[in-house]
Amino acid sequence: GIQVEQSPPDLILQEGANSTLRCNFSDSVNNLQWFHQNPWGQLINLFYIPSGTKQNGRLSATTVATERYSLLYISSSQTTDSGVYFCAVDAGGTSYGKLTFGQGTILTVHP
Amino acid sequence: EAGVTQFPSHSVIEKGQTVTLRCDPISGHDNLYWYRRVMGKEIKFLLHFVKESKQDESGMPNNRFLAERTGGTYSTLKVQPAELEDSGVYFCASSQSGTQYFGPGTRLLVL
């Protein structure tokens, strides 16, 4: 099946810093989503981005489908951005709808 | 609009007992998914319903797990009998097309 790798595994920032999280995947995808898992464990959907670039406030994401990677940018980070960020992909075909998750990036933002 | 809801939020049971988890998807969403994260591992797909039909149950670990979706609305996931390795967080998600929206999860602990 499709493989998803996220980097870095851990990231520690001071408030106000910018960061880039990466997601590599091993095959073409039908769907790619970025999630933020908050301290209560809930998975918050950030972006649905199988290709192209999207922005939402301080967050933006870019997926280059032909090169099989996606990037999540966080600008002017805040302590509330702390948590685990997951990338998940749907390879389509016979496994349409099935999301395969990466192992996550643990982000800690210090005040 | 209400999001995906799951019940219970936590469950602690003894090995050999039965537990039933419930998921109520976003109203009108035909697609309903179950995922789980066991300790230290990645979030893994369990199965996918389209309305009341099982589209893909390739992620179900064994026949101790039984999922149903009555009338294409809410879904239940029963574990019988529960084993220690079933402990983890069980997530439900729903979608109409594209973006999957996740519930808060049920934390299951099998002692």
> What value does the mean pLDDT of chain B take?
95
Which residues of B have a CB under 8 Å from any CB of A? Answer: 31, 33, 35, 42-45, 48, 55-56, 58-59, 89, 91, 93, 95, 98-102, 104-105, 107
Using one digit for the tens of pLDDT, what is the confidence trace for A8-17? 999 999 999 9
- Give Cα A21 to chain centroid, integer Å: 7
Using one digit for the tens of pLDDT, what is the confidence trace for A44-63? 999 999 999 999 999 999 99
How far apart (Å, rounded) are the C-alpha atoms in residues A18 and A80?
A: 14
Using one digit for the tens of pLDDT, what is the confidence trace for B29-43? 999 999 999 987 899
- Give Cα B86 to chain centroid, integer Å: 12
CB within 8 A of B6, min separation 6: which ones? B21, B22, B23, B24, B90, B91, B92, B103, B104, B105, B106
Q: Burial-class residue B23 by CB neighbours within 10 Å (0-12, 13-18, 19+).
A: buried
Q: Pick from B18, B1, B31, B35: which is nearest to B106 by CA?
A: B35
Disruptive mutation site among A32, A98, A101, A103 for chain B (greatest number of B CBs within 10 Å): A98
How far apart (Å, rounded) are the C-alpha atoms in residues A42 and A25?
A: 24
Which of B45, B99, B101 is closest, CB to CB, to A98? B45
Position A34: which residue type? W
Residue B1 pLDDT exceeds 70: no
Disruptive mutation site among B46, B100, B106, B107 for chain A (greatest number of A CBs within 10 Å): B100
Residue B66 pLDDT exceeds 90: yes
For chain A, which residues score pLDDT lower than 50?
none
Q: Where are the alpha helices (DSSP H) in chain B?
A: none
Q: Which residues of A touch B93 (CB under 8 A)?
A: 99
Give the pLDDT score at A38. 87
Under 8 Å between Cβ of B87 and B36: no
Q: Which of A45-49, B16-20, B39-43, B46-50 has the lowest mean pLDDT?
A: B39-43
Mean pLDDT, residues B77-87: 97
